[in-house]
Structures are given as structure tokens and as C-alpha cells.
Structure 1
Amino acid sequence: MYIDCQHLKIQFPIYNAQQRSIKRSLLTIAGGGRLSQSQGVTMVTALDDISFSLQDGDRLALLGHNGSGKTTLLRALAGVYSPVSGTLKTSGKISSLLDATLGMEPELTGIENIKLRSLLLGIPPQQLPSLIDDVIAFSELEEFIYLPVRTYSSGMILRLAFAICTARAPEILLMDEWISVGDAAFKDKAEKRLQSFIDKAAILVIATHDPHLANRVSNQQLHLEQGKIL
């Protein structure tokens, strides 16, 4: 497994920006660094000249303030965003905890959501029965697992989503901040499951504001500011 990112650049166009009075102010604030114009279209450069390489066993922490580009980089690694220049090559199945509730359908039951998410995660059908048993036992939803998710509390939804996302060992794991789920008793249980989940990953990339967490879980760090590596 590996990630090889070389001179990655991610840009987003903002159409009709010339009609907005805020544009001039933003350009002044940014000093032309993150905002530019191309053929009359305002472009936001979210990431610029990002390079790093990861191999089996590497744990990379992305550090920086809000808006520094951490989440954008994670989404680029997940294949959500395509670069306008540079290269991004990966080998290994990518699992992400960027949005644990992604793909949850409120009108479906807990069981049906487990089956739906298993399809999105690419879990083979023959593994589904054991996965369902594991998720039900860990989430502690009991009879609620047969009710529509719209009847759940927000905590119950997070417990179900967390149990599904961490049911299968990842190869390349992307995380946007450390996940904390449930009350005190369940939180301790979830922390142990999350740590085991992370330990099984060949490669970890985690975004965080906490330098102490970064020092604890990573062997490499990237400090980002306005989409660039410091």
C-alpha cells in the first residue's frame, strides 16, 4: 500500500463572482494568494503544491487552522476532488471516516442501513451476516435496529454509523478529527474499537487541531496554511 502525492493543486471556480460586492474585499484580504481570476472567473486555490509520500506503517497528521486545507486534502485523497495539476497515486482500498453518517437513509431501518452501507463500503455479501451481528452487538440498539432511523436520537444514529464504519479493517484510513461517540460508558468502548481499527490500517491520514494527538498517533506531520505546506 502507498500514497504518492506530488505538487497537488486543487482549485474551485466561483461563477458570477463579479456580480458580488464581496469579491473585491476577498481579493484584497487574500492578497491574490488563494483567490485569482482566469478568463473572468474567480478561482479559489484550496491546495497548492502539496507533496508527500506514505508507505505501509506510516501515520500522517495534517495540522492547521480552519480553512487551511486539511479537509480538502482528505477529500482529494478519497477521490472526491480531482487535481488541476500535479499527481496523486494510491495503492490500497481507501476507507474514510470523514462523515460517519454518509449514506444513511432515515426512512430505512437500522438493519436496512447496515446492508446499504455495506454495499457502499464494498463488503462481499458472504461477509454481511457476521457484519450485521457485529454492528448490532456493538451499537447496543437492541430492538431499535428494526425501526426506521428517523426514530433514532442523534446519539443512536452516530452509534450505528460508527459501528458500521469500523466493522471492517481498513487498508488506507482517512480521518477528519478524532471521533468521540456516545455517553461515558459507550465512549470508552468506542475509543478501544477505534484504536484497534486504526492499528489495523496500513496507512493513516488524520486531520486534527490538536498537536498532542498528532504527536501521539503519527510518525509524519504536515502543517498547512492557506492550502500550502509550511
Structure 2
Amino acid sequence: MSAVTTTGPANAVQVENVSLTYRTTFERVPTLKTALVRFGRGERAVREVQAVQNVSFDVPHGNAIGIIGANGAGKSTLMRMIAGILPPTEGRIQVNGRVSTLLSLGVGFNAALSGRENVVLGGLASGLTRKEIQERYEEIADFAEIGEFIDMPMRTYSSGMFQRLAFSVAVHMEPDILLVDEALSAGDAKFKQKAAAKMKELVTNARTMFLVSHALSSVRDLCNDALWLHKGQLMMRGNPNEVIAAYNKFLKVGEDAFSLEDL
């Protein structure tokens, strides 16, 4: 069942018993016996990967929620389901408001087009009119700080310039819900500070933000709520300091020795 976008006053996002299972194939290495029988041909096998398993939570409007966990925990998959990019295998996601995504910097940008043209494309994709895009264009360009490169093809941009423009477009679309996946992991310190201040401004203005990050300090600084995922399962939800402390303890003692009851 796919994500449902509607309007409503209660929660920005409601996730109900959501699971996502990937089916993937891989080549089995044949044994000598089977290789002789099958003339050395490998065998294609199907494997199911449970990326997210029966996850439920609500996020009220105005919350800034951090999502933490090891690589492969299902964080980015969950964000893509909330964004409507991936349909869940089971369960239901309800999103109330306009979503702007920074799930992978510059996804959807056309490198052959100029920065200016990509600003227009990003705005139109977010549901803005050309007049609305024109009204905030200067603000987007000023925030990105890429100067005359705004009129050059994006294939000529450095990674930092690409990042600054992508971030600027996303946060100036006036989203009700901003989804950020490791967008602050690259770039110089000055831009990181500027980006963090802009996200705080969005949350202050009653916007809702999801932040996926391995930088736990960013979750502490920017979020008032946190989720911890492990192997697709929701381990803990609560105050960022408490969730981060539990996660750090888990990393220190290992999965077999850890119990939430020990907290």
C-alpha cells in the first residue's frame, strides 16, 4: 500500500504497522558436483530482505525528530517511504502537508541544465507556481552562495556547490515537512552552521523535520524527538539524549548483551 497524502490538523506523519521487504537475487557458487551436472552454470537464488519491520509512530506538527541507527538499520528506507518514493509492503503511512526532501543531495537535478533552471524545476516539482518560484529565487541564490555559477551547467559544479544549491532549494520551498538524510555530512563548517540555523528556523516556524544522521551531535542540537532503528525494527522512541545514550550503550556492549530493560 502506498503513502497517502492528505491534510489534517493532528499529526504531520502517521506510520501504522509499516514493513518493507525487498526481493533480490544473487548467484550461488556451485559445488564441484553441481558444476559438473550443470556445466558450471551458477544458480540464481531469491533472497528476501526485511528492510523495515512492523514500525509504528506518530509525529506531531512542529516536531524535529532524529532517526539514528547503524548502516542497514532501515533509516533511509523509512524516509523514502514517508516521502512516497517507496511503497510499503504492509501497513499505512499518512502524510499531512507539503513535503520537501533532501534524501540524497541533488536527486532530480539535471546536471546538463544551469542552477537557475534547476531551481525552477525543483520549485515546480514541489508544487509551486512559476510566480512563487520567481518571488523566492533571489533568496535561494543568495543562500547557496555560488555566484555566477548559478547560470552555468551543474555538471561544472564542485560537490560543495552542488550541495549548497540542493539544500537551498529544499529549505526555501516552504515545506510543511522537511526530510533530511545526511545532508550536513559534507561541505565546509561555515555552511553546516548556516544550514543548521535554517533548519532550526523552519522548526521554530512550526514546520516538521525528520533528520537521519550518524552525527549524533546534530540530532542533539537540532531535534526534540528521536527514533532508534536496528535491522528494520523500532528499538526506542523518546528524548534525543535518552535515545542516544541507549544507542551508545548498545554499540559498546554489543547486540547479544544489550537489553532495553537495563536502562
TM-score (norm 2): 0.72
Gaps of 5+ in 1: 23-39
Alignment of 1:21-32 (within 5 A): 21=29
Question: Is the aligned partner of 1:82 residue 2:90?
Answer: no
Is the CA contact (8 Å cut-off) linking 1:64 and 1:70 kept in structure 2? Answer: yes
Task: Return the letter of the residue paired with 1:47.
Answer: V
Segment of structure 1 superposing worse, 216-225 or 163-172:
216-225
Shift of 1:79: 0.9
Q: Is the alpha carbon distance of 1:153 and 1:123 closer, same or farther for their aligned partners in structure 2, counting shifts above 3 Å? A: same
2:62 maps to: 57
Q: Which has the higher contact order (CA 8 A, sep 6+)?
A: 1
The one-letter amino acid paired with 1:130 is E
- CA deviations 1:167-206 (Å, max 9, x no partner) are 1222112111352564344444333223323433532222
Asked if the contact 1:96/1:175 (under 8 Å) is kept, the reply is: yes
Identity over the aligned pairs, expressed in percent? 32
> Cα deviations across residues 26-51 of structure 1 (Å, max 9, x unaligned)?
xxxxxxxxxxxxxx742111011101
8 Å contact 2:105–2:183 — kept in the other structure? Answer: no
* Deviations 1:119-156, CA, capped at 9 Å, x for gaps: 11221221121222112222222222222222222222
List runs of 5+ in structure 2 lacking aligned partners.
1-8, 31-44, 236-263
RMSD, aligned CA: 2.3
- Pair 62,183 (structure 1): closer, same or farther in 2 beyond 3 Å: closer
Return the match for 2:165 from 156, 160, 166.
Answer: 160
Instruction: Indicate the residue corresponding to 1:20 in structure 2.
Output: 28
Name the SS of the counterpart of 1:123 in structure 2: coil
* Residues 166-185 of structure 1 mapped to structure 2, 5 A cutoff: 166-177=171-182, 179=184, 182-185=187-190
Q: TM-score, normalised by structure 1?
A: 0.81
The equivalent of 2:234 in structure 1 is: 229
